[in-house]
Structure 1
Amino acid sequence: MKAFDTQLFKRILEYTKPYKRRYYSVILWAVLLSLFAALRPYLLKEIIDGYVIQKNFNGFILMVSLMGITLVLEVLAQFYFTYGTNWLGQDIIKDIRIKLFKHMTSFRMSYFDHEPVGKLVTRSVSDIESIARIFSQGLFMIISDILKMLVILIFMFFINWKLSFTVMVSMPILIYVTRVFQRKMQVAFEEVRNQIANMNTFVQERVTGMKIVQLFIREDIELEKFKEINDKHRKAWIKNVWYNSIFFPIADIISSLTLSFIVYFGANLLLTGDPVTEFGDLLAFNMYIAIFFTPLRQIADKFNEMQMGMIAANRVFEILDTQSHIQDTGTQKAPNFKGKISFDKVVFGYKPDEDVLKGIDLTANEGEMVAIVGATGAGKSTIINLLNRFYEIKSGTISIDGNDIRNYSLDSLRTQIAVVLQDVFLFADTIYNNITLHNPHISKEEVMVAAKEIGAHQFIMSLPEGYEYNVKERGNMLSSGQRQLIAFLRAYVSRPSILILDEATSSIDAHLEELIQKATDTITKNRTSIVIAHRLATVINADKIIVLDKGMVVEEGTHSQLLQKENGYYRRLYDSQFVNHQEEI
């Protein structure tokens, strides 16, 4: 990243357009703040030289009152300036965060296959918060400081040009030091952001997979890895602190030496009877130097706050600029499908040079239950991903009711298809909200009726708060079978035209198997269903069974037809599960 990326900065400022009035009002308060800050030392000089030394009591009271009013106005200007910059920054990152979240939710599944979740969380939370600091701690603070310094310079030259030139001598040194510091800090901040992203990714993955960590006794191994990542994070911040520890003492020394020289030089001018210099000048310049050098000393820090925000913005914009979407070019709204599904010579691979499906042809007629079986990696779940258009096919056609699914808008297509997965994901929310997914068109009464129809109502009502019971993160408060019932109910209340069960009965509790089977029979009735399963007991009654092997359809027929093939693939699967393992029947 460049020292200062003008194009990136312009892009960030684009987000201020909805808040133009507030944007310009903040700049106005910055101007007023600089005027009030420069006016205080000038009024002090006038009070000393014009009224204290002259012993003008009435004028003294008036000037002190004027100085008090100036102080009040400066406080008000500081309040509105600080509040306005932070308010503006929070509104801008609110807009960016919404845009980013919307953008990420539209990514194709392949994007999430290779992008760490922790990295995306960092971009969506801490990086976006850093963007707010461009406005609250960076841009406007720098504008305010520069205005303050310019106004103070004008006042200093107006009061005493000789002392002002003395102040100007030290400025090139401080500017040079500031510039060197800024460059070093840019590199340090970039490293800090990298290490934060790495740490977030590591912690998120280990917390999510804590069961695996403990089952395989990897606590000590993961701790050592975390120590290494944490140490890199610490070193990145130490480098940041190191540069600050060097810069600020140097800036303070330059400021103190300048003040000392002003006192020495000004006192000599007074003692020699210089007509330009008055006693009040020394007091005013004493205040001016403190006000003048403070922003000059801090401007590097504020510039780095802005730079850190721009680095974060660059990371966020990288995601916003990522085009990893399924092309939603369909112009038709999917109707209530009759349910005929056709795959015609479909070729697909998750990697460009590795095809998972190799010219698949299959058909599911209206109202049929079609089972797809095969070994792990045969391409069963891939068929579901393609039907929902989570991925784009390389070649061939997937159609529903004779119409290419690419002709339908994504939202309308996916609304007509419900999927029940083996690994049920539940949000840390109530059972009711996990079933409806906050769909306002599904009432609680509808959910309860549906739950009774598939046999889930009794188990839900046995929970402490019934449908309002919070299942916590990923539904950890429920058993796997209970989570599966919630998934069936979620699919059922959406009233889909097409239902897909992806290994939905392979990991249920034994005592809930009968209940799950009843739910399956209920939600598949009178609708086209595709059932993917390892356990052949769940697909014996399917209207059609399609057998996949290495991305190709190798057999097709009913259960009885496939069993008649002496050396058939399905027959071998059946024998391995039923003949050799009678206890599983």
Structure 2
Amino acid sequence: MTRPVRGMPQPPAARSRDFTGSAIRLVTRLTPLRGMTAAVIALGVCGIAIGVIGPRILGHATDLLFNGVIGRRLPAGISKEQAIEAARARGDNTFADLLSGMNVIPGHGVDFGAVGRTLLLALGLYLVAALMVWVQARILNVVVQRTIATLRTDIENKVHRLPLSYVDARQRGELLSRVTNDVDNVQSSLAMSISQLLTAALTVIAVLVMMLTISPLLALLTVLTVPLSLLATRAITRRSQKLFVAQWTNTGRLNAHIEETYSGFTIVKTYGHRDHASAQFAEFNDDVYRSSTGAQFLSGLVGPATTFIGNLSYVAVAVVGGVQVATGQITLGSIQAFIQYVRQFNQPLTQVAAMYNTLQSGIASAERIFDVLDAPEEAPDPPPLPVTPTTGRVEFDRVTFGYRPGTPVLHDLSLVAEPGTTVAIVGPTGAGKTTLVNLLMRFYDVDSGRILLDGTDITSMPRAVLRSRIGMVLQDTWLFGASIYDNIAYGRPGAGPDEVHDAARAAFVDRFVAGLPDGYDTRVGDDGGRLSVGEKQLITIARAVLARPQLLILDEATSSVDTRTELLIQQALAELRRDRTSFIIAHRLSTIRDADRIVVIEDGRIVEQGTHADLLDRRGEYWTLSQM
């Protein structure tokens, strides 16, 4: 049996190939929900705009308190200007400068009513801002969840459009990791990143405007630290970015190993490879640990670095602002508000820097998902042909095919199967027997030549139409996680219970189902549960019987069962092959004695064909196989 070689996991990528492009592509997936996205942005703008007004109002309350304290110390009945002149006359210029920047009324104390109203206004604004942020978070959660649900659907649909060669060339666990782990990582990263990035951008802009209205000089001192933060962030993230790509690549490789080990757990135990499997697991797990630890460590340095640089602006504002208050250029409440704005200005930058590791991890996963979405698909199906009577004649006309370019598996092969006949295909392992089946099912397309069904090239037929005419019973049985009834009914959706039970009786499934506690409702999985290999095979035959195919493919269908079960399967298959064009691939020559024609394939070429008796009389390759 010739199959494509599964590709080994690729080494970790050096770094993200297109970080910006992947990020933009991920964000553009939000466009179908543009209305809700606009609502998120609008609520963010309103909430932050209201929130940044708070410090100014609190600063005004501080001014009211400070003005009242200073005003009560001044003699009543004089004006502010007279109080300033009196202070300068006695040589207290510092106090005079302080008074010049205040809105003080000599002899008047603290207006607690005005202070209370100011604080209530600030409290109300903060409550409204918090409510808007809460509503924004709820809507954003809906946007992200719907976007990820659409992304999962797109991946699911894409997988069904991928050629079998794409799946065969990759480890199943690695592909599953992209569809599951990477999508989950994108979901968490997208929710966190959008919320923080949007809030950070709006906050920085709003706070900067408010700072400029208070003191352009202090605003300039604050902004000067931003380039330093960006340089530090860039220097660190350039080193951590490639580690995040390696982290998810190694995670996919680890999942592939786990899936492979658990799927073949019996083989691992039987051949004593537990230690080897554990050693491989430890190696792959260490790779994930090292890349994850390195990525998290490096990206974790961004937060402390930006916090340290942001604290430099606190020092500058405190020193320069204190001088401005003392000289009357700015009020105490204004400098209090400005210091709060410095915190609000630096906090988003620090948060964005701290969550940049999450963003990098999400983009690395998004790239792996986009790799699947961008993979070449099967050639599109042609328009459906008019429905015509079919007989089941199959012809391979000078077919040449190879799984890899330059390495053909079949060489200029021609073969005809007349309607209602059984054609057996035999030959050594690797001769190309299963390849014929893959080509007939259009899992792969021929490199040259044609395959005709009732005179029509199968490449001109929609794949679904072609495959609906073919039933398969394979050596490797596969049962879904469902009841025995559901596994049989899978062969033809919409079939009634009587038809399912008739198919089960035709395949002798009823003989062992009667002994099960739940009968046809007994649940089984891909491992078959309590069923033997032969019993699972009979269920797959019943599935094929129910499908009522025009063509039948039997690929080593009895190679893994005992003699008694083989007899039952042979009887079921004989009934299934009645009046159908059938292809049988077998190593046991005893199972194909009654075939209408036996074809011997070697190295991708037909070397002999005829009936069982004719081929034995020739004493050629078939006779040699029969002696083994």
TM norm. shorter chain > 0.5: yes
Task: Tell me which residue corresponds to 2:588.
Answer: 535
Aligned pair partner of 1:363 in 397, 411, 416? 416
* CA distance 1:563–1:162, change in 2 (3 Å): closer
**Does the 8 Å contact 1:32/1:77 carry over to 2?**
yes
Cα offsets for 1:58-101 (capped at 9, x unmatched) = 33333233222222222222222223333222222222222222
1:571 aligns with 2:623: yes
Task: Tell me which residue corresponds to 2:50.
Answer: 36
**Does the 8 Å contact 2:245/2:364 carry over to 1?**
yes
Rounded to whole Å, the distance in 2 between the matches of 1:350 and 1:181 is: 44
Task: Tell me which residue corresponds to 1:202.
Answer: 257
* CA distance 1:337–1:3, change in 2 (3 Å): closer
Rounded to whole Å, the distance in 2 between the matches of 1:4 and 1:78 is: 32
Rounded to whole Å, the distance in 2 between the matches of 1:554 and 1:168 is: 82
Which secondary structure does the structure 1 equivalent of 2:524 belong to?
coil
Instruction: Provide the alpha-carbon RMSD of the alignment.
Output: 2.4
* CA distance 1:377–1:244, change in 2 (3 Å): closer
1:106 aligns with 2:161: yes
Rounded to whole Å, the distance in 2 between the matches of 1:310 and 1:334 is: 48
Rounded to whole Å, the distance in 2 between the matches of 1:180 and 1:351 is: 43
Q: Share of identical aligned residues, percent?
A: 31
Which secondary structure does the structure 1 equivalent of 2:587 belong to?
coil
* CA distance 1:308–1:267, change in 2 (3 Å): same
Which secondary structure does the structure 1 equivalent of 2:180 belong to?
helix
Rounded to whole Å, the distance in 2 between the matches of 1:402 and 1:166 is: 82
Aligned pair partner of 1:293 in 346, 359, 383? 346
Aligned pair partner of 1:45 in 43, 59, 69? 59
Larger Rg: 2
* CA distance 1:228–1:59, change in 2 (3 Å): same
Task: Tell me which residue corresponds to 1:191.
Answer: 246
1:483 aligns with 2:536: yes
The TM-score with structure 2 as length reference comes to: 0.85
**1:182 shift after superposition:** 2.9
1:215 aligns with 2:215: no
**Does the 8 Å contact 1:333/1:413 carry over to 2?**
no
Corresponding letter in the other structure for 1:82? A
* CA distance 1:13–1:247, change in 2 (3 Å): closer
**1:326 shift after superposition:** 4.6
* CA distance 1:244–1:311, change in 2 (3 Å): closer
Task: Tell me which residue corresponds to 2:86.
Answer: none
The count of aligned residue pairs is 573
Of residues 529-538 and 54-63 in structure 1, the stretch that sits farther from structure 2 once superposed is 54-63
1:85 aligns with 2:140: yes
**Does the 8 Å contact 1:372/1:380 carry over to 2?**
yes
Q: Aligned ranges for residues 341-356 of structure 1 at < 5 Å?
A: 341-356=394-409
1:557 aligns with 2:610: yes
1:132 aligns with 2:190: no
* CA distance 1:568–1:327, change in 2 (3 Å): farther
Which secondary structure does the structure 1 equivalent of 2:411 belong to?
strand
1:18 aligns with 2:70: no
* CA distance 1:464–1:259, change in 2 (3 Å): farther
1:427 aligns with 2:480: yes
Rounded to whole Å, the distance in 1 between the matches of 2:18 and 2:413 is: 53
Rounded to whole Å, the distance in 2 between the matches of 1:311 and 1:438 is: 40
**Does the 8 Å contact 2:54/2:125 carry over to 1?**
yes
Task: Tell me which residue corresponds to 1:340.
Answer: 393
Corresponding letter in the other structure for 1:345? R
Cα offsets for 1:391-448 (capped at 9, x unmatched) = 1112222111111111211010001101100011222222233223386422333211
Rounded to whole Å, the distance in 1 between the matches of 2:219 and 2:448 is: 76
Aligned pair partner of 1:456 in 509, 513, 521? 509
* CA distance 1:191–1:446, change in 2 (3 Å): same
**1:458 shift after superposition:** 3.2
Task: Tell me which residue corresponds to 1:168.
Answer: 223
* CA distance 1:115–1:203, change in 2 (3 Å): same
The TM-score with structure 1 as length reference comes to: 0.91
**1:102 shift after superposition:** 1.7
Q: Which runs of 5+ in 1 are unaligned?
A: 577-585
**1:331 shift after superposition:** 3.8
Cα offsets for 1:268-302 (capped at 9, x unmatched) = 443x3x33322223432332222221111122234
Rounded to whole Å, the distance in 2 between the matches of 1:3 and 1:544 is: 55
**1:481 shift after superposition:** 0.6
Rounded to whole Å, the distance in 1 between the matches of 2:230 and 2:338 is: 20
Rounded to whole Å, the distance in 2 between the matches of 1:335 and 1:103 is: 31
Task: Tell me which residue corresponds to 2:500.
Answer: 447
Rounded to whole Å, the distance in 1 between the matches of 2:243 and 2:220 is: 36
**Does the 8 Å contact 1:181/1:300 carry over to 2?**
no
Rounded to whole Å, the distance in 2 between the matches of 1:7 and 1:244 is: 21
Which secondary structure does the structure 1 equivalent of 2:407 belong to?
coil
Rounded to whole Å, the distance in 2 between the matches of 1:480 and 1:556 is: 32
Rounded to whole Å, the distance in 2 between the matches of 1:9 and 1:444 is: 51
Of residues 439-448 and 336-345 in structure 1, the stretch that sits farther from structure 2 once superposed is 439-448
Rounded to whole Å, the distance in 1 between the matches of 2:279 and 2:152 is: 34
Rounded to whole Å, the distance in 2 between the matches of 1:146 and 1:434 is: 54
Task: Tell me which residue corresponds to 2:307.
Answer: 252
Rounded to whole Å, the distance in 2 between the matches of 1:207 and 1:377 is: 27
1:386 aligns with 2:439: yes
**Does the 8 Å contact 1:381/1:502 carry over to 2?**
yes
Of residues 236-245 and 526-535 in structure 1, the stretch that sits farther from structure 2 once superposed is 236-245
Corresponding letter in the other structure for 2:466? L
1:466 aligns with 2:480: no
* CA distance 1:4–1:316, change in 2 (3 Å): closer
Which secondary structure does the structure 2 equivalent of 1:475 belong to?
coil
Rounded to whole Å, the distance in 2 between the matches of 1:282 and 1:39 is: 14
Rounded to whole Å, the distance in 2 between the matches of 1:495 and 1:164 is: 79
**1:336 shift after superposition:** 6.4
* CA distance 1:544–1:142, change in 2 (3 Å): same
Corresponding letter in the other structure for 2:129? E
Rounded to whole Å, the distance in 2 between the matches of 1:291 and 1:392 is: 62
Rounded to whole Å, the distance in 1 between the matches of 2:621 and 2:401 is: 23
Rounded to whole Å, the distance in 2 between the matches of 1:575 and 1:231 is: 52
Task: Tell me which residue corresponds to 2:82.
Answer: none
Corresponding letter in the other structure for 2:253? N
**1:165 shift after superposition:** 3.5
**Does the 8 Å contact 2:302/2:353 carry over to 1?**
no
Which secondary structure does the structure 2 equivalent of 1:451 belong to?
helix
Cα offsets for 1:41-61 (capped at 9, x unmatched) = 122112222367543333333
Corresponding letter in the other structure for 1:201? A
**1:10 shift after superposition:** 4.1
Aligned pair partner of 2:598 in 529, 542, 545? 545
**Does the 8 Å contact 2:423/2:583 carry over to 1?**
yes
Corresponding letter in the other structure for 2:226? M
Which secondary structure does the structure 2 equivalent of 1:329 belong to?
coil
**1:547 shift after superposition:** 2.0
Aligned pair partner of 2:123 in 64, 68, 80? 68
Rounded to whole Å, the distance in 2 between the matches of 1:400 and 1:371 is: 18
* CA distance 1:229–1:283, change in 2 (3 Å): same
**Does the 8 Å contact 1:33/1:144 carry over to 2?**
no
Q: Which runs of 5+ in 2 are unaligned?
A: 1-14, 69-109
**Does the 8 Å contact 1:430/1:469 carry over to 2?**
yes
Q: Aligned ranges for residues 142-181 of structure 1 at < 5 Å?
A: 142-181=197-236
Rounded to whole Å, the distance in 2 between the matches of 1:397 and 1:314 is: 38
**1:456 shift after superposition:** 0.8
**Does the 8 Å contact 2:420/2:582 carry over to 1?**
yes
* CA distance 1:15–1:337, change in 2 (3 Å): farther
**1:343 shift after superposition:** 1.3
**Does the 8 Å contact 1:179/1:300 carry over to 2?**
no
Corresponding letter in the other structure for 2:344? I
Which secondary structure does the structure 1 equivalent of 2:385 belong to?
coil
Rounded to whole Å, the distance in 2 between the matches of 1:352 and 1:252 is: 56
Rounded to whole Å, the distance in 2 between the matches of 1:4 and 1:372 is: 50
Rounded to whole Å, the distance in 1 between the matches of 2:184 and 2:369 is: 11
Which secondary structure does the structure 2 equivalent of 1:220 belong to?
helix
Which secondary structure does the structure 2 equivalent of 1:343 belong to?
strand
